[in-house]
Structure 1
Amino acid sequence: MEGLSEGDKAVLNTIFDPLQPLGLSDFPKEFEETTDDLEENYLEPHVLDIVKKAIICAEEKNFDESFRLFDKALTQAPESPSILNDRAQALRLANRDEEALKDLHKAVDLSKGKGRAGIQALCQRGALYRWMKQDDEAKEDFIRAARAGSSFAKSQLVAMNPYAAMCNAMLREITSKASGP
């Protein structure tokens, strides 16, 4: 275990003791973020209604109308990381990953990666980075989100760890042998 980073050691400890949760102290200090509670962006009810309609249109693959509605909502709340998160998800559904990434960069910048919208933006951007095979960037986003308390980000960090993958494969093999034919 000499050549392992502190983060890798924390992940291994979690694998061998799965009842022990990953905590903020389990991640490298260079990624430490302040976790002050922030007031979330408040959206006016009429803007929230527009966003809900945009989401429904995206789910129905009516992307032109969805993006028209998201643009309308952003005109009324241009500094809203949550609207940018939602539009990024719709862009992903439309296979427009580069545009989604731009929205997620802006959402992280506006939120400073804090609060509910900031954590969601980090997680979504991390997942998109993984999809794009940019694991270093994904790991950085997941570490920031995990430090802010995201259990999804913590699970992604474990999944990205090669030692975790090896241990999970060994565990699956042992479990399948134990259950017998």
Structure 2
Amino acid sequence: MDSDISTSDKKVLQIVFNPNLPVGNLEDIEEPVDDESSFDPEKLATVKNLELKGVKHAEANRLEDALECMNQAIEILPDYPASYNNRAQARRIKGLNQEAYDDLEKAITLSKGKGRTASLAFTQRALLRKLDGNEEGSLEDFKLAAQLGNQFAKQQVVNANPYAALCNKMLSEAMEKLSGNCTKE
């Protein structure tokens, strides 16, 4: 059914259901995807299993085990950007912020700034920059992630711009009034 909806209709629905998002910045509503076609499918499956195992270790607060899984994944496919992004998250949780920055830079470079991994890496880097007090750099990274379709990043961009939030609120209120007028006779 979703394929019956045009891109324009999807944008309208996005505005209706998310009135706080900046109206002019709606690019694509679809979640960005990574191009994994250049990777050996067997190695990629092994790497994804290691990453999943690493995430479970991190969720259980076994960060050394999580890092070991991510390191193994990077050894198998050193050009796979998602492993660097995932290792950055474990390093960030562990308080190894400079190492996390380095991994995020590698993830962004390897992804060529495109796709889901780049979106997540820009968002993580934005959070680290915000933590370091670099509001300008943080906002720039949130904007890059938002352009890639990251909803959390879009919301952060809106929160940083009170004028856009106010305009979107007024638009939402106007649409509510209009829809109320259409149903009354």
Q: TM-score range by the shorter chain?
A: 0.5 to 0.7
1:40 aligns with 2:57: no
After TM superposition, give the deviation of residue 104 of structure 1 in Å. 0.7
- Cα offset, 1:20, TM superposition: 7.0
Give yes or no for contact 1:81–1:108 (8 Å, CA) kept in 2.
yes
What percentage of aligned pairs have identical amino acids?
33
Identify the residue that residue 135 of structure 1 maps to in structure 2: 135
Q: Matched residue of 1:44: which SS?
A: helix
Amino acid at match of 2:50: I
- C-alpha distance in structure 2 between counterparts of 1:49 and 1:72, whole Å: 11
Gap runs ≥5 in structure 1: 1-17, 28-36, 168-181
Provide Cα deviations, 1:101-121, integer angstroms capped at 9, x if missing partner.
111111111112211111111
Aligned partners of 1:20 and 1:125: how far apart in 2?
Answer: 23
What is the match of residue 11 of structure 1?
none
- Distance, in Å, in 2 between the alignment partners of 1:73 and 1:26 is 36
CA RMSD of aligned residues (A): 2.6
How far is the alpha carbon of 1:95 from its aligned partner?
1.3
The question of 1:76 aligning with 2:54 is answered: no
Spell out, residue by residue over 1:120-173, the C-alpha distance to the aligned partner (whole angstroms, 9 max, x if none).
Answer: 1111111111122111111111111112222211111122236579x6xxxxxx
Name stretches of at least 5 consecutive residues in structure 2 with no aligned partner: 1-17, 27-31, 167-185
CA–CA distance in structure 2, aligned partners of residues 50 and 89 of structure 1: 15
Structure 1 match to 2:147? 147
The answer to whether 1:59 aligns with 2:54 is: no
Aligned twin of 2:9 = none
Change (3 A) 1:46 1:153: same
Deviation of 1:39 after TM superposition, in Å, equals 4.6
